[in-house]
Amino acid sequence: MSYHHPMPGELRRPVERSATVELLKDFCKEELAAAQTYEKALSLPILQRHVDVLRRCYASHHNRVAELGKRIVDAGGEAPTSPGVWGALLPTLATAAAAVSQSLAVSLLEEAEQRAVRRYRDHEAGLDPPERAFIAERIIPAEEASCAAMGELKRTLEA
């Protein structure tokens, strides 16, 4: 009797992996919302003076979408392609805030960045060890850099 040894791609993921994949999908949806928000912010005339910071943040979030998407696919899931209902509201809020003032728009962006850092930290323990390390080493530092960039921009506007 012969026994077939499965190749790595043939292995079924343990049930607990599904919780990790779902959490990665949630993270990816939030990153999609953030990228869309920065894309919208880049088109707002009131924020054109700050296009360099906004482009860096957009690129960083866009990169995180790609990295998270790859991890999701590698774990046997399907990467999200849209931010979901709540995430779709963030670009609209940024537009509304920009209609009031650039300071309000930047404050909203900074608050969203702070929330994202907290969410990653609050939920990283719910991930499998390899994904936890990935989030801690790749995603959180990039998110903290975006948060710091928006915090600095906010302080500049307040000065």
CATH of the domain at 114: 1.20.1260.10
Distance CA(62)–CA(148), nearest Å, equals 17
3-state DSSP assignment of residue 1 = coil
Name the domain count of the chain. 1
Residue at 80 is within a domain:
yes
Residue at 32 is within a domain:
yes
Predicted confidence band at 1 (pLDDT cuts at 50, 70, 90)? very low
Residue at 126 is within a domain:
yes
Predicted confidence band at 103 (pLDDT cuts at 50, 70, 90)? confident
Q: Burial, 116: exposed, middle or buried (Cβ in 10 Å; 0-12, 13-18, 19+)? A: buried
Q: Are 47 and 102 in contact (CB under 8 A)?
A: yes
Mean pLDDT of the chain: 86
Residue at 87 is within a domain:
yes
Residue at 77 is within a domain:
yes
Helix 84-100 vs helix 102-123: crossing angle, to nearest 10: 150
Q: What is the domain extent for residue 33?
A: 16-158
Place of tokens 């990653």: 120
Tell whether the model's pLDDT for residue 14 goes beyond 70: no
Residue at 88 is within a domain:
yes
Tell whether the model's pLDDT for residue 45 goes beyond 90: no
Distance CA(37)–CA(26), nearest Å, equals 17
Q: Are 58 and 38 in contact (CB under 8 A)?
A: yes
